[in-house]
Each structure stands twice: as structure tokens, then as C-alpha cells.
Structure 1
Amino acid sequence: MGIDEVGADTDGLFVGALDEIGREDDGPVPCLVALHGRPTRHVFERAASLLGHEEPAQRELGARVLRELGAHDEEGRRPFTAETVEVVLAEIPSEPDAWVLGWLISVLGYHNAHETLDLVLGHQAHAAQPVRFAVAAALPCLADPERAQDRVVEALLRLAEDDDDSVRWYALYALFHEVAGVTGERKAAWATDLVGRGDAQRRAQLHHLGTTFGDGADSGLREALGRERGV
């Protein structure tokens, strides 16, 4: 269902967005994107109310609308950030569906809710892949942008050895591209250790990550990441 079919009606956009996220493919989601561009009180309250819905798909829709509702300001906050974080934090402890829980954690990341860092870190070893994936993706947005935090680094190093390749990729990217205040020597040590202990698939992933660094990257880090031993 496209925007032309639902017109400008907000309720119609919610209906269309629910249909979009229910598809098995990863096709375009114009209704959901249109809702993101309408940071009104009505849209916020409608999305927030869905977080308590009995159907997981409706709760997912509420989370996905809230995640990107309105543009960031200079501080990385969105128009309803404070209220969004409040309602998400109220739902996380009782959310039974791992897929929806992952989206709720993602909301916190997209709103740069630094105050929720420890809560999100508490889910790093969750049994369900969607939750660990959400943690790995959200941590760079929740960590201190000025300095490295040991508990964040430790979590990302753990997630960098996850059984799931998507979780590993997000954790590795965060470690080598987004963690603040870390020397090239320390990153090179991480890379050497991960390459030495990883299987062929993980070494290949590290090698691929190494190719994304520019000439300005520390040479020791690039050399360590560039190894393909055993691939």
C-alpha cells in the first residue's frame, strides 16, 4: 500500500505501515517513513499507545514509529525524545517478544538516550539474536562520545565473537570505527586477538572490515585486520 492510496490521513498511514512491516521481504516502507516525517502529538500518542497492544505486530509498529519520529536536533534528540524514552523504559521489563524487545532497544539508540546505557548493556547476553543484534547496533549511540568506557568496550568485544554474523559485524564496526578515545595500538591488539581466535568466517569478516579503513588509519591496525589466515 503506497502513500497515494492512503492519502494524507494519519490513521490510514498507520494501517499501511502495519501492512509494510508484516511483509516477509525488506521492501520499501513509504507509510512508515511518512509517519516519521509527522512528529505531531497525535502520531506520538498513537504510536506510544501501541506499545501496550496485545498483538506483537502492533507493538513493533509502535516502536518503529517512535524510533525515528522527527528529525534530530543539534544534541541528537528528537521532538518527543524524553516522552519516548519514558514509555519505552516502562515497557521493556515486561515485553515478552524478543523481536519487539529488540526494536524497543533500538528506539533508545535512535534517540541517543545515554542515560539508558546500563539497561541496554544488561541485555548483551540475551538468548535471542534480535536482542543481541539491537544491543550491538545501539551501543555506539548510547556510549560516551568523548571517551572510551570499559563496560562498553567489553560488551562489544563479547558481541564481536557472537555466533550470529550480523551481531558480530555491528559490534566490530563499533569497536573499530565508533568507540571514542581508543588508541590505534589498542585496536590493533583487539584485531590480532580476534583474528587469532576466530574461525574462517570471522577472519574473513575482519579482513573485509579492514578494507574499509582509509590511508589515515593506524598501520598496525590495518595490518592486523587485513590478515586472512586460514580463509
Structure 2
Amino acid sequence: MGRDLLGELVTRYLALVLIAVQAGVTVAGQPDWIYDIFGLSWDGILAGRLWQPFTHALVHGPWWTYWWHLALNLICLMMVGGRVERIGGARILLKTLGAGVLGGAVLQMLSSSVPFPLIGASGGLFAAMFWLLTIHADDRMWPVRLKGRNLAIGIFIAEAGILAAAWMLPGSGLEKIGSGCHLGGAAAGWYLGRKSLGPRLTKEDLMRERERREGAS
């Protein structure tokens, strides 16, 4: 647990980047133009700000009112990102976070019509989480003691339910959760996790391997 909170080298650097960006935004007084330019929105994309699907992950809510947004994401980054880096290395971590940020941005844009920009690194963090849950599909995960596969299914269903409720109850505030972003990141993490595990073995594959071993003996 303590080692997870300390994270790994690249994980720590990423955390420092997020803190530095938030400190800069705080010093600047949280001007709306920062969120308009670097957050993700249809208005921004249509205005030619094609960097937004990536830069939205670097910006979080105002420090004095939504400090928990960055704090929660930093804890998740250090614990989940640190494990991904320890197991798969820095390259896998960066690839997973990047795919999650982009996948989350795409699905959020397709599934939501909220007028305010999307901000935060949640898409990348969901990707890292689902990469781990896919790699450890049959292991029981701390602290809930559910198998990775079952925990991933439960989280995915919950996020899909929140997204559906946001569609059916416009103005309820559920659209602020960014479930489309979470689901897009989760899908990216699951896909990369499956690729890391390699192709699944079929019954025929196992029978051929058995025949090969028996023939060699």
C-alpha cells in the first residue's frame, strides 16, 4: 500500500506535471479562458482547437472549491498508475493513459451535449484501472475482494447507468460526472489489457499443444 502511494518514477513525474499545471491556473486566478482553450468542448473543436482531446486531461477544477477533483485523480494516478508502470513499464503506462484520455474524449463528445468544457484526467485513469483489472481478471482486488473481471463489469455497468440516467434526466447534474469519458477510457484500457495478455488459447490450441508435447516425448 505504501509503495503504491509513492508510485513509480514516471508516475511521480506525471503527478508533478498535474500539480504544476493546477498551480499555474490557480495563480492566474482560474480565468474562464483557460478552460475554454484547454478544456474539451464542441465549440472548441469547431473553432479549430484540435489539441483539446489531449489537453483537457491536464486541467482540473478551481483549487479552492474543487480541490478534491485533482486530489482524487492524483491518488488514483499514484496507486493505479504506479501499479501499471511496475507491471508493464513506463511505455505501457503512457500508452494506456494516452489511449484512455483520447478514447474518453471521443466518447464524451459523442454521448454528451453539455455546454461546459470537459476537464480532468479521469479518462486516462479509467484506462489504467481497466488495464489492471483485465491483467488480473481472476485475482481478488483490494479492498473490495472481488475478482478483477467482476469489478470491471460492475464499474462499467454503473457508469453506463449514470450515462443513461443523464440522458433521461437532463438538467439533473448527472451529466457533470463525465460518464462518457469514463466509459471511453475503460474501453481503451480493457483493449490494451487484452493485447498485453496476448491471444486467447482455444480448446483446439490446447489439444495441438498437448499432441506436440506427447509427440516429442
Bigger helix fraction: 2
Query: Does the TM-score normalized on the shorter chain lie above 0.5?
Result: no
When normalised by structure 2's length, the TM-score is 0.29
- Which structure carries more relative contact order (alpha carbon 8 Å, separation 6+)? 2
Normalising by structure 1, we get a TM-score of 0.28
